[in-house]
Structure 1
Amino acid sequence: MNDDFPVGLLFGLLFLLIALSGFFSSSETGMMSINRYRLSHQANSGQRNAKRVMRLLARPDRLIGVILIGNNFVNNLAASIATIIAIHFFGDVSGPAISTAILTIVVLIFAEVTPKTFAAVKPERIAYPASMILEPLLKLLYPLVWVVNVISNGLLRLLGVKNIDGNGDNLTRDELRTVVHEAGTLIPHRHQAMLLSILDLENVTVNDIMVPRHEVVGIDLDDSLEDILTQIRTSQHTRLPVFKGDINSIIGMLHLRNAARFLSRGEVTKAAIVQEAREPYFIPESTPLHTQLLNFQKQKRRIGIVVDEYGDVEGLVTLEDILEEIVGEFTTDVAGQEQDMLPQSDGSHVIDGTANIRDINKSLGWHLPTDGPKTLNGVILEHLESFPDGPACLQIGNIRMEILEMRDNLITSVSCWPGTRRVLAESDAGD
Structure 2
Amino acid sequence: MVPDLPSPSRRSLLASAGLALAGATVGVGATRPTALPDPVTDQASKWLPDPTDHRWHPPVSEAHAREAVGRLADEVERGRELWEELDDDDDRFTGAGGHLDSARDDLESGDHRGALFSATYGMQFAGEDVGVALARLDRDGGDPERLAERGEAILERATAVAEAVADYPVADPGRDLGWYHEIERRIRLARLDAHERDPDRDRTYDARDIGTMYGGNLRAEQRVRDAEYLHERLRDRVGDDAEQWADRVDRVDGRVREAIDGFPSRETVREEVRALDEGTPYALARWKLSMWCYDTDYLVADWDEDLSLLNAVEAAQALAQRRAHDRAVDALVMEPDGPRSFDSGHVIREKRAAMRRFRRVVGDSPAPLLSILTERAGEDIDVAEVGFAGSYERPIWRDRVDAYCYALVARMKLKEYPRVFERFVDRA
So what's the TM-score if we normalise by structure 2? Answer: 0.19
**Which structure shows the bigger proportion of residues in helix conformation?**
2
**Which structure shows the bigger proportion of residues in strand conformation?**
1
Greater relative contact order (Cα < 8 A, sep 6+): 2
